[in-house]
Amino acid sequence: MSTKSKIFNSLYWKISGIFLVFTILLTIIFIYISVIFSSEYNQEAQQKINGEIAAGAIKEVSPIFVDGKVKEEAIKVLMHSMMAVHPSIEVYLLDPGGRILTFVVPGQDVKTEYVSLEPVKKFLGRSDDRIIKGDDPRNPGSPKIFSAAEIIEDGQLKGYMYIILASNQYTSTMAALENSFILKIGARSILISVLLTSMLGLLAIWIITRNLNKIISAFRSFKEGNHSVRINLQTGGELGNVAHTFNSMAETIQQNIIQLKSVEELRKELIANISHDLRSPIASIQGFTETILLKEDKLTENERKKYLEIILQNSENLSKLVNDLFELSKLESNPQMIQPEPIQVAELVQDVADKFQIIAREKNISINTIYSKSLPLVYADIQMTDRVFQNILDNAIKYCNPGDVVTIELELQKDSVLVKIADTGKGIAEDELPYIFTRYYKGSKTKGANSTGLGLAIVKKILDLHKSSIQVYSKINQGTRFEFQLPLYVVA
């Protein structure tokens, strides 16, 4: 037997076993209680039906006392004839103090002289049908139901007629009947109710454990690596909840695994790209340094200068690449690193523009700025915003031809400042536009060594962290325009 079915079976049988034991126990208790109640009911009915039997008997033989003495013969005849009709009764004649004057009982084995009058008085004054039990002179300590009546003659209480309704003989007959009742009704009830409840119960338990089994096998399958397994239960309640929780947990884990895998892919791709980008400047530096060292005397002054310039250029490229990579990975690994503050965006733009004026002039490119002096403060990380301007301006100048114009415009909007940086340069082909913000993406015409393809990826990441987006509009040979918004500073 497999572990799976062992668990299922033991759980199934444990629950079923407990359930069956409880069913049988409850049935027995039910039968026991029914018997007790039916016996009580029987006695109540007896006392109610035969309650007036004592009063009737008195009427028959009245007067009972003649010259202060009991009319014994007449009474005994009556008593016997009563007992012939009701064999279960025992008849006693009591004096006003409860002493037994005469009696007719089978076997004549009366053990007490007195009968307690308290229950007799209660019986005579009763207003409801509750059972009242009185002394049984034949069985002291074992009270019985009875009927009683006062004997009043010549206006005086002369005594009581006291009739035990359920004699020894009667109660033992009852007990026998009850036993057979237990046997008959009990056996049938046990059989029918145990069978019915067991069938329904076992079916219910089977349905529950079947669902549990589904859950267990889903867990096991997931543990064994099948991350797409889900539990399909057509039930609500606790088990439905467990299934639902499992499904959403499995979904999250599966998504995380997919994400981890793609991060891992990206990491591999990055390492490949980085090593490729690092290799060429390093090889170039190495090659030219070796040449200078080997041909020390044979090199002309001009050649040496040219080689050293190449080495310097490559070192600068290397340093830019390393810095950009470092910056991007810092932004990606720690999104909390932005520290927004209220900034004068016009001032910032002017500073960046001034910084780029020198290279722009060298390339005969002009930089214009358009903004209102009364622009409100924006809320952004000043260094990162500066980096955004620098990277976009760097591109604008890099991809412009002499005579082109770069314009930076700031426009106040409802709750932000719209930044537009436009150039009249080479432009970007339509099919390349969707990729320019992807890291390492360099346009097809961008073959220069001083290009890492990281500039716009950094821009996008920084604006993402500011919850802002960037748009680009470009036409080949006409120019390019970048647009993004910076949120206005709101005084708390």
Q: Would you tell me which residues interact with Mg ion (CB under 5 A)?
A: 395, 455
Indicate the helix (H) or strand (E) that contains 192.
helix 187-223
- Identity of the amino acid at 331: L
Classify burial at 130, counting beta carbons within 10 Å of its beta carbon; exposed 0-12, middle 13-18, buried 19 or more: exposed
CB of 421 to ligand ATP, least distance (A): 8
Nearest distance from C-beta of residue 428 to ligand ATP, angstroms: 4
DSSP state of 489: P
What does the alpha-carbon distance between residue 82 and residue 142 come to, in Å, rounded to a whole number?
Answer: 23
State how beta strands 405-412 and 366-370 pair: parallel
Judged by beta carbon distances under 5 to 8 A according to partner kind, the member of Mg ion, ligand ATP, none in contact with residue 399 is ligand ATP
Q: Among the candidate windows 113-121, 269-277, 289-297, 438-446, which touches ligand ATP by CB under 6 A?
A: 438-446
Of the candidate residues 399, 408, 419, 462, the single one contacting ligand ATP (CB under 6 A) = 399
- Smallest gap from residue 246 Cβ to ligand ATP (A): 44
Distance CA 122, CA 431 (A): 111
Instruction: Give the C-alpha separation, 137 to 53, whole Å.
Output: 19
Min dist. Cβ of residue 395 to Mg ion (A): 4
> How many residues bind to ligand ATP according to rule CB under 6 A?
23
Q: Which is nearer to Mg ion, 137 or 455 (CB)?
A: 455
Of 381 and 423, the one with the shorter C-beta distance to ligand ATP is 423
Nearest approach in angstroms of CB 259 to ligand ATP is 25
Whether residue 397 contacts residue 356, with contact meaning beta carbons closer than 8 Å, is answered with yes
Q: Residue 443 interacts with ligand ATP (CB under 6 A)?
A: yes
Q: Is 365 a binder of ligand ATP (CB under 6 A)? A: no
Tokens of 166: 């359920």
Nearest distance from residue 253's CB to ligand ATP, in Å?
35
Q: Which is nearer to ligand ATP, 112 or 446 (CB)?
A: 446
Q: Which residue number has the CB closest to Mg ion? A: 455
Closest CA to 165 of 143, 139, 148, 147: 147
Whole-Å CA distances, 354 to 234, 357, 358, 360, 455: 70, 5, 8, 10, 20
Is residue 426 a contact residue for ligand ATP (CB under 6 A)?
A: yes
Q: Could you give the CA distance from residue 157 to residue 201 in angstroms, rounded to a whole number? A: 66
Contacts of 199 (CB under 8 A, 6+ apart): none
Q: Which stretch binds ligand ATP (CB under 6 A): 50-58, 101-109, 144-152, 444-452?
A: 444-452
The interface region with ligand ATP, picked from 142-150, 271-279, 379-387, 392-400 by CB under 6 A, is 392-400
Residues 6+ apart with CB under 8 A from 372: 346, 410, 412
Does residue number 423 form part of the binding site for ligand ATP (CB under 6 A)? yes
Place of tokens 């009852």: 174
- Partner touching 452 among ligand ATP, Mg ion, none, CB below 5 to 8 Å by kind: ligand ATP
The residues near 360 (Cβ < 8 Å, ≥ 6 apart) are 366, 367, 397, 406
Q: Return the residue of 16, 221, 390, 451 that touches ligand ATP, per CB under 6 A.
A: 451
Query: 370 φ, ψ to 5°?
Result: -130, 115
Nearest approach in angstroms of CB 394 to Mg ion is 5
Q: Which stretch binds ligand ATP (CB under 6 A): 224-232, 296-304, 370-378, 440-448?
A: 440-448
Contact status: 396 vs ligand ATP (CB under 6 A): yes
Query: Between 149 and 454, whose beta carbon lies closer to ligand ATP?
Result: 454
Task: Report in angstroms how near the CB of residue 385 gets to Mg ion at its nearest.
Answer: 17
Which residues in the 453-492 window bind ligand ATP by CB under 6 A?
A: 453-457, 480
Q: Where are the extended beta strands (E) located within 78-216?
A: 90-94, 100-104, 133-134, 144-153, 156-164
Using alpha carbons, select from 418, 317, 405 the residue that is nearest to residue 365.
405
At its nearest, how many Å lie between Mg ion and the CB of residue 406?
14
Residue of this chain nearest to ligand ATP (CB atom): 443
CB nearer to ligand ATP: give 139 or 446: 446
Q: Cα(324)–Cα(234) distance, rounded to whole angstroms?
A: 55
Per rule CB under 6 A, is residue 425 in the interface with ligand ATP? yes
Q: Does residue 186 belong to the site contacting ligand ATP (CB under 6 A)? A: no
Of 46 and 284, which has the nearer Cβ to ligand ATP? 284
Length of the chain: 492
Residues that bind ligand ATP (CB under 6 A): 324, 391, 395-396, 399, 423, 425-428, 436, 441-443, 446, 451-457, 480
